[in-house]
Each structure stands twice: as structure tokens, then as C-alpha cells.
Structure 1
Amino acid sequence: MSMVKSSPDPVDIHVGARVRLRRTLLGMSQEKLGKALGLTFQQVQKYERGANRIGSSRLFQLSKILDVPVSFFFDEMTTDTTQKADGMAEGNKQVFEVDKLSRRETLELVRAYYKITDPSVRKKIFEMVKAVGSSAIGSDES
């Protein structure tokens, strides 16, 4: 019986996507993160895709470099993901959800949003985007 997996574990995909999300929000390149970890940017890419599992000591190191608690990497993990972690379920809806969060457009929007220094202006923009998004529900656009 072979232990080789045909696809990455859903939990590894989620954790990797959270690493990418935080790294991108900080405006840090894969090269810079790799240097801080003593790895190549290709190894960082594999972590971010979930192709390589991140060990506990490496996750702790990442939390220090990216200035987040270790729990950050598991935040927003759905029950769906944790149930699929055993490899028994088919399909992977979570991959799509994580991909949406990791899109460059999404990350650039969030970074630009946090550059708005006036909290009242930021709140008004937030409310406006929510309102426009709500009015788009039911239309053909995603």
C-alpha cells in the first residue's frame, strides 16, 4: 500500500493559502520569505499551494516572520475542509473559496483599503462595497 497522495491535503491547501494571503498583504515576495526561512522561493511556492506540508516548527517560524499567531493559519477553515482532511471525501469546494481569497485583485483591494488612514472614510467605503455587492446578488456576475 503506497502512501503517495495524488492531491494535496485540504488542510495543507488552506494553511498554504493563509501563508500566501498574509505574505501578500505584507507586500513580501516569495523570495524574501524564502530567505527569511532559509528556503528557495520554489519551496515557498510549494508550501503556499499545499503541495508540501508545513511542519510545526516551520509554522511557528512563519508566524514570527509574518507577525501573526499560529492560529491565523487555521482561521476560517470550514468543517468541510476538516472532514475532507482524511481523504475520504470527493471534490473540493474549499479550494475554490481559498483561490478567490488569494487572487491578486482581492489582495490588492485589501492592501489599498488598509492604506486609507481615516477610519470614517474606510468604514464608508466598506459599507459602499457591501451595498454594491449585495445588489449584485442574483445577477449573472460573480
Structure 2
Amino acid sequence: MADNKLPSGIDRVVGQRIRWRRKELKLTQEKLGELLGLTFQQVQKYEKGVNRVSAGRLFEMSTAMGVPITYFFDGAETFLDHDAGYVAEDGDAIHAPVMTSEILDLIAAFQKIEDQSLRKSLLGTIQAAATAFDGKQQDED
């Protein structure tokens, strides 16, 4: 049985959403820490999902970052449903997809494109490239 105090998949999703919003606001970990009365190391641990964020702290973050508290859970159902059957080598931990700075930059840039037809075209191109790459990977296996 897992220790209930250990971070879970949802903790990592929440951490990624904290990081994403902080980057959207162009805040450093230090600046966010100052706003919340935390060290940048604690912000870093929350973002990486190493430490759980309490309900009270999450409420403070939502207020400081100008988003509803539900923002931090957006997309979590999809991730948890998709990976519900996944069992990691280290037990029953569910691992969230890694949101690298490159992925966050891509998302931020994509959101700035106001032309819907251009956004659809770019998304189609990226999806086609991903499908082609996935097909090549399977051929190599």
C-alpha cells in the first residue's frame, strides 16, 4: 500500500500547471515565491511534483496567479484516465507527461496566434509530422 503523503500523478499534473501558469505570467520561481512567501526551492518542488500542494496553498496560488483553482486540474482527468492502467516499475505511481520548457514555449507561442485557420493548419502539420515519426519508430521495432 502506498504512503498517502507521497506525491501522486495528480500532484505532478498540478505542479506542471503551476509551472505553465508561472511561465505564462513571465514570473521566475523566485518572484512567485516572493508573492506566496515561499522560497524558490519550494516553488520548484511544487512544480516538479516532488512536494504536494496543500488546498490552502493552492488557493493562494490561484489568487496570486489570477486563475480559478480548477485551472490547476484542467486536463487531469484525461491524463489519469489514459494512464490508469499504467503501473510503474516503482510500484503503483502514475507518471505525468513531462512538460519541458520547449513544450511550454510551443504552447505559449501557439496561443498567441489569433488566426484560427493558421492555427488549424499548424496543428495539422504537427500532427502529420508526429504520425509520420510514430510510423517510422514502429517500422524500426
- Short-chain TM bin: 0.7 to 0.9
Looking at structure 1, the residues matched to 63 and 8 of structure 2 have their Cα atoms a distance apart, in angstroms, of 24
- Which residue of 2 is the match for residue 90 of structure 1? 91
Give secondary structure in 2 for the equivalent of 1:51.
coil
Quickly say closer, same or farther: Cα 1:67–1:81, change in 2 above 3 A: farther
* 1:111 is aligned to 2:108: yes
Looking at structure 2, the residues matched to 138 and 63 of structure 1 have their Cα atoms a distance apart, in angstroms, of 41
Looking at structure 2, the residues matched to 4 and 19 of structure 1 have their Cα atoms a distance apart, in angstroms, of 22
Quickly say closer, same or farther: Cα 1:11–1:4, change in 2 above 3 A: closer
Per the TM alignment, residue 137 of structure 1 is displaced from its structure 2 partner at its CA by: 2.1
Question: RMSD of the alignment, in Å?
Answer: 2.9
Looking at structure 2, the residues matched to 64 and 81 of structure 1 have their Cα atoms a distance apart, in angstroms, of 30
- Which residue of 2 is the match for residue 30 of structure 1? 29
Quickly say closer, same or farther: Cα 1:26–1:133, change in 2 above 3 A: farther
Per the TM alignment, residue 104 of structure 1 is displaced from its structure 2 partner at its CA by: 1.0
Looking at structure 2, the residues matched to 107 and 55 of structure 1 have their Cα atoms a distance apart, in angstroms, of 24
Structure 1 outlier segments of 4+, above 6 Å = 80-84
Q: Is the 8 A contact 1:25 1:110 kept in 2?
A: no
Quickly say closer, same or farther: Cα 1:38–1:83, change in 2 above 3 A: farther
| Structure 1 gaps, min length 5 | none
Q: Is the 8 A contact 1:59 1:70 kept in 2?
A: yes
Q: Give the TM-score, by structure 1 length.
A: 0.73
